[in-house]
């Protein structure tokens, strides 16, 4: 039952992504409404699936990386729908939903993994939850950066195209990327610190080699640099957007490493 | 009785003829009262703008009514009917409804999506109402045309994007800045178009306004007109540091804003974008500033290009609007035809119900020993018979009215069931 629901959710998200992209090109209210409907249906199925998963595990579905990513996707889709509804930024889905789909493709079908006994502690849940909130914020950071670059290109090229009409003002997008960075960074930082502390308690060293831990540190450095650049050196606009994209690439690599390479985070 | 619209518009009639035929309000009123006095036109609305002169009417013989109306119009304006007649178009019934909707929604306008036409149609309708020349056909038609026009405006972007250079510049500014309120504007040089652009920016909340001009008195004068501040010409570069939007329109033959100057200025701005609207020919801002980050420069050709793109966007939206209008026409016609047969259906039902109740009463009076069950069964039986009998005639009436051929059917039903004269 639960795999069926997860598949239904994935189909909903894929449909919503296709429709959201179609809406970007062919501005039709009906297409947008269908996209929202698809996303909502997928999200509802996803919600039920996560609840069933929790019951099955007897714990929040954060204990394995695939489960945790599934929760991230759930949060992303929820936030996407909320922000779109609140701000009227109807094109957001076209930039956020593809990421959600990519994340959920691999993430949603894991065996019912549970935490190794060495890890069973309340702190581990906090570590995972904080890191996941950070990741969700960076997905929006990434989407904002992409939108900024597209809009900036159109304005510089002086040839208004679909994006010029659909996307908001440059300054708005720049603010969005800054705010999501400022929001996501503390969560990511605290999540990483807790992870390192916990590694020391569990394995005796905070920096034992683990692909996910290593790459997440790389991503953290990139984001820390961007934030510092923004705050102190007045970085903004294109440069900040490029760094957001690089940081996000590192984050995706982090999750990929966690899923595909052997290490302490599973697989 | 047929609904029709006849007239001429910018599509087929030259402006010389349109302006000759255009009628002002007082005369329109006279004409309306005149035409309404005769028998040829049951209802009439006259629409006269600089782009179209049209008669919306209800008449037994639309051809004659059209001739009558335009004869009166031409006589009034001293135009030869012979020159007007060949240019007139006429739309009947469904086509007339579609035409009315398209005109009100600004889909038939010279500049698609322009907002004035709806007001003009409303005025024409109000005038006709005041002259009591609208009735059961034109009243719902125009009310519906207004609501269709409103839907088109809100549900499509037909009127959204600027089609003038100065408005296009304002829209561009809105795509760069997070809202225009509190954005400082610098006008360099005086010119009608730059003043217009500045006014649009002020309307959107831009503030404060600075004016620089080689002639100090001219700068002061213009600053006063815009409630701004005059800036000495040699402090131009300093002023660049403080402002967000620069509108240039000097007659200078050499650029007045150089790339080097802008590059220096950008250092102190900490990423605040700088937007140049260069309306001057030859251009006032060096094209080289394009390669600087956060600097956006649009010259007059760029702005025209934006306007062209906006027009294409409007045309795309107009297609969506057309399909919306088409759906609304269908709905309107269906409602109208239902409205036509509903009174007959109601009286037909009432007639048979009256017969049924009369007979039921008589029958039950003759059966005093009948149980309540029997009574209920008899009641149900009579009810079922009436409904079965009515089913086919009612369906036929509805179908015939949708096919536009209800008249003979309505008369037949009235005759057969003795419903009296049709209202």
* Ranges of residues in chain B whose predicted pLDDT is under 70: 404-405, 421-423
Residue of B nearest to A172 (CA): B178
What is the per-residue pLDDT for A106?
Answer: 66
Q: Which residues of B touch A169 (CB under 8 A)?
A: 174-179
Question: Is A57 in the same domain as A130?
Answer: no
Q: How confident is the model at residue A207 (pLDDT cuts 50, 70, 90)?
A: low
Give the residue from A85, A111, A137 where a domain finishes.
Answer: A111
What is the total count of domains within chain A?
2
Q: Which residues of B touch A156 (CB under 8 A)?
A: 290, 296
Question: Is A245 in the same domain as A140?
Answer: yes
Task: Give the count of beta carbons closer than 10 Å to the beta carbon of residue B285.
Answer: 25
Question: Is A168 in the same domain as A75?
Answer: no
What is the per-residue pLDDT for A155?
Answer: 94
Q: Is the minimum CB–CB distance between B270 and chain A shorter than 8 Å?
A: yes
Helix (H) or strand (E) holding B188: strand B185-188
Q: Is the minimum CB–CB distance between A156 and chain B shorter than 8 Å?
A: yes
Question: Is A185 in the same domain as A257?
Answer: yes
For residue A248, the enclosing domain spans 115-267
To the nearest whole number, what is the mean pLDDT of chain A?
Answer: 85
SS3 A28: coil
Question: Is A129 in the same domain as A185?
Answer: yes
Question: Is A152 in the same domain as A169?
Answer: yes
Q: Do A155 and B296 touch (CB under 8 A)?
A: yes
SS3 A109: coil
Nearby residues of B164 by Cβ (< 8 Å), 6 or more positions away: B307
Residue of A nearest to B292 (CA): A156
Q: How confident is the model at residue A17 (pLDDT cuts 50, 70, 90)?
A: very high
Return the DSSP state at B387: H
Residue B362 CA, chain-centre distance (Å), reads 61
Query: How far is the C-alpha of A158 from the C-alpha of B308, rounded, in Å?
Result: 12
Please, which residues 68-87 of chain A have a Cβ atom closer than 8 Å to chain B? Answer: none
B89, B8 Cβ separation under 8 angstroms: yes
What is the per-residue pLDDT for A255?
Answer: 82
Q: How confident is the model at residue A267 (pLDDT cuts 50, 70, 90)?
A: very low
CA distance B238 to chain A (A): 21
What is the per-residue pLDDT for A117?
Answer: 53
Question: Is A159 in the same domain as A244?
Answer: yes
**Does residue B131 carry a catalytic annotation?**
no
For an interface test with A, the pick among B273, B291, B296 (most A C-beta atoms closer than 10 Å) comes out as B273
Question: Is A107 in the same domain as A119?
Answer: no
Q: Which residues of A touch B306 (CB under 8 A)?
A: 158, 160
What is the per-residue pLDDT for B120?
Answer: 94
Domains, in order of start, for chain B: 2-155 (3.30.460.30), 182-301 (3.40.50.720), 341-423 (no CATH)
Give the residue from A86, A111, A136 where a domain finishes.
Answer: A111
- The residue to which tokens 């683990």 are assigned: A210
What is the per-residue pLDDT for B141?
Answer: 95
């Amino acid at each position: 039952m639960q795999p069926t629901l997860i598949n239904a959710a994935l189909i909903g998200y894929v449909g919503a992504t296709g429709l959201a992209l179609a809406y970007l090109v062919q501005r039709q209210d009906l297409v947008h409404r269908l996209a929202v409907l698809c996303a909502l249906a997928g999200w509802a199925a996803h919600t039920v699936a996560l609840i069933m998963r929790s019951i099955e595990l007897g714990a929040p579905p954060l204990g394995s990386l695939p489960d945790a990513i599934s929760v991230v996707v759930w949060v992303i889709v929820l936030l996407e729908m909320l922000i779109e509804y609140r701000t009227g930024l109807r094109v957001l889905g076209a930039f956020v939903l593809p990421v959600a789909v990519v994340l959920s493709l691999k993430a949603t079908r894991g065996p019912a993994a549970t935490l190794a006994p060495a890890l069973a502690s309340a702190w581990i849940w906090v570590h995972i939850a904080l890191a996941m909130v950070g990741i969700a914020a960076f997905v929006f950071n990434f989407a904002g950066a992409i939108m900024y670059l597209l809009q900036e290109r159109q304005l510089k090229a002086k040839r208004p195209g679909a994006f010029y009409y659909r996307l908001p003002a440059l300054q708005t997008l720049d603010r969005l990327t800054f705010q999501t960075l400022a929001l996501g960074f503390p969560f990511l930082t605290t999540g990483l610190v807790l992870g390192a502390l916990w590694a020391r308690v569990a394995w005796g060293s905070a920096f034992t080699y683990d692909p996910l831990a290593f790459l997440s540190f790389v991503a953290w450095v990139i984001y820390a640099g961007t934030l510092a650049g923004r705050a102190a050196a007045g970085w903004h606009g294109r440069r900040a957007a490029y760094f957001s994209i690089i940081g996000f690439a590192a984050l995706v690599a982090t999750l990929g490493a966690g899923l595909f390479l052997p290490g302490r985070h599973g697989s | 009785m047929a609904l029709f619209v006849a007239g001429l518009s910018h599509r087929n009639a030259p402006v010389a003829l349109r302006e000759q035929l255009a009628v002002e309000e007082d005369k329109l009123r006279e004409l309306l009262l005149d035409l309404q006095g005769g028998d040829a036109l049951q209802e009439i609305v006259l629409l006269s703008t600089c782009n179209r002169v049209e008669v919306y009417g209800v008449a037994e013989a639309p051809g004659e009514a059209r001739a009558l109306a335009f004869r009166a119009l031409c006589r009034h304006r001293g135009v030869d009917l012979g020159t007007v007649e060949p240019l007139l178009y006429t739309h009947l019934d469904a086509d007339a409804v579609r035409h009315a909707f398209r005109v009100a929604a600004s889909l038939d306008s010279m500049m698609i999506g322009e907002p004035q036409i709806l007001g003009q149609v409303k005025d024409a309708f109000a005038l006709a109402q005041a002259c009591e020349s609208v009735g059961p056909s034109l009243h719902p038609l125009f009310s519906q045309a207004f609501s269709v026009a409103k839907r088109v405006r809100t549900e499509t972007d037909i009127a959204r994007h600027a089609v003038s250079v100065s408005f296009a510049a304002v829209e561009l500014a809105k795509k760069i800045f997070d809202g225009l309120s509190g954005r400082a504007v610098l006008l360099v040089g005086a010119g009608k178009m730059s003043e217009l652009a500045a006014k649009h920016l002020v309307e959107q909340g831009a503030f404060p306004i600075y004016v620089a001009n080689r002639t100090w008195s001219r700068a002061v004068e213009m600053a006063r007109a815009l409630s701004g501040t005059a800036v000495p010409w040699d402090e131009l570069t300093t002023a660049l540091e403080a402002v967000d939007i620069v509108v240039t329109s000097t007659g200078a033959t050499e650029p007045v804003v150089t790339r080097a100057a802008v590059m220096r200025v950008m250092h102190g701005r900490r990423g605040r974008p700088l937007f140049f609207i260069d309306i001057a020919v030859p251009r006032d801002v060096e094209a080289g500033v394009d390669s600087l980050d956060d600097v956006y420069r649009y010259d007059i050709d760029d702005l025209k290009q934006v306007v062209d793109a906006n027009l294409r966007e409007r045309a795309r939206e107009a297609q969506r609007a057309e399909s919306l209008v088409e759906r609304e026409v269908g709905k309107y016609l269906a409602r109208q035809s239902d409205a036509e047969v509903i009174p007959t259906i109601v009286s037909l039902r009432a007639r048979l119900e009256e017969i049924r109740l009369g007979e039921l009463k008589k029958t039950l009076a003759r059966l005093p020993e009948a149980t309540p069950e029997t009574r209920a069964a008899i009641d149900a039986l009579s009810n079922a018979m009436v409904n079965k009998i009515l089913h086919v005639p009612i369906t036929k009436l509805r179908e015939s009215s949708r096919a536009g051929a209800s008249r003979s059917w309505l008369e037949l039903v009235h005759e057969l069931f003795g419903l009296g004269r049709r209202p």
